[in-house]
Structure 1
């Protein structure tokens, strides 16, 4: 069981930044079984360059729930599941930091689709989500928005699952199953 996640933030530094949007797709290894997406009021100004990148501005988040108001849903949707993201450490560190500010120790097993892509899909010039999706013919509806990027990551994850089944097949004993 997996929770495939993408977030948008106020910057790149998790210790000082805040989450502005989150999307979670629960996946059972075959298909999506649940989803959640929301803007989050970061309780700080969103820098101009982030608004330019994501399209998320202060006006859009002013009436959005604050992180503490969605924290329970995030816990419930990820409990007992592997936390999957493209460049997982970015998303995971931001979410852990938000929970730490609330006094909650958020710990999940993680899986990175960048690392898996490098192992299972070698030879790409870039393993950024946008370039990898272009190479694989995955359409991203809403690039640099949590739901769009998370859904693209789901499609990539499904390709990786199929590739892993082939590599992990008993007839191909020289390769190790990665998950």
Structure 2
């Protein structure tokens, strides 16, 4: 997948606004988007939105969106295996804005088989999903639910890439949503030696059943909201928040190492 290519385009758009033609030209070079006739509406459906200014200049909406106004979608999936050989088994998600829950998404996906170790881990048996919608139906509904929200997950790379790859294979294009990892965010805001979901749930006294998609998404949402409450006061916009989650932990590590 062309995640790095998309990130390179977005990194330029974070720094400055660009002409409409430049934006469409850059995104049209992404292999997974070459079959799309790109315009602002299509890009929004794929997860990224712009403000259209004078002279057809486009600005990333997340550059100016205030954090309290931004909608975040906290996501978790269960799968039958890894991204290269497994299939999505369940998707759970919760949308939040200004610390308040807006709505939830939860669905099994019909699959032909579930490995015994996955059933042991998740408690999901084949009989539980036999009447569920297929992957195309679930992904279509999830994409509409997600919209242009910020995609948040615990170890976001796994969930984001898995869903993006599955969307592409089903003909829906890849994800372009901005994303935040709650592991990274927690490392910026919570002092601890372990940042797995169970460890953070214990620290923050979050009670939920582990290894079910919606429950894990709700737990990650509580971690996310806790960390939002710990943000430095100068972090105001969505892009400032994303930058903070990626860089503050590195600064903290360097500081701690220097002052040992």
Q: Where do residues 1-179 of structure 1 align in structure 2 (5 Å cutoff)?
A: 1-11=71-81, 13-42=82-111, 44-107=112-175, 108-122=177-191, 124-140=192-208, 142-164=209-231, 168-170=232-234, 178=244
Q: Which runs of 5+ in 2 are unaligned?
A: 1-70, 235-239, 246-260
Paired residue total: 167
Q: RMSD value over aligned CA atoms?
A: 1.5
> Which secondary structure does the structure 2 equivalent of 1:104 belong to?
coil
* Residues 82 and 109 in structure 1, CA contact (< 8 A), matched pair in contact too: yes
1:48-99 Cα deviation digits (max 9, x unpaired): 0010000011111111111111222211111111000000011111111211
* Residues 3 and 78 in structure 1, CA contact (< 8 A), matched pair in contact too: yes
Cα shift at 1:110? 0.8
The structure that has the greater radius of gyration is: 2
In structure 2, distance between residues paired with 1:79 and 1:147: 18
* Residues 26 and 33 in structure 1, CA contact (< 8 A), matched pair in contact too: yes
Q: TM-score, length-normalised on structure 2?
A: 0.61
Q: TM-score, length-normalised on structure 1?
A: 0.88
1:11-37 Cα deviation digits (max 9, x unpaired): 1x2121111111110111321101110
Cα shift at 1:125? 2.3
In structure 1, distance between residues paired with 2:174 and 2:145: 12
* Residues 87 and 112 in structure 1, CA contact (< 8 A), matched pair in contact too: yes
* Residues 2 and 29 in structure 1, CA contact (< 8 A), matched pair in contact too: no
Structure 1 runs (4+) deviating above 6 angstroms are none
> Which secondary structure does the structure 2 equivalent of 1:84 belong to?
strand
* Residues 29 and 161 in structure 1, CA contact (< 8 A), matched pair in contact too: no
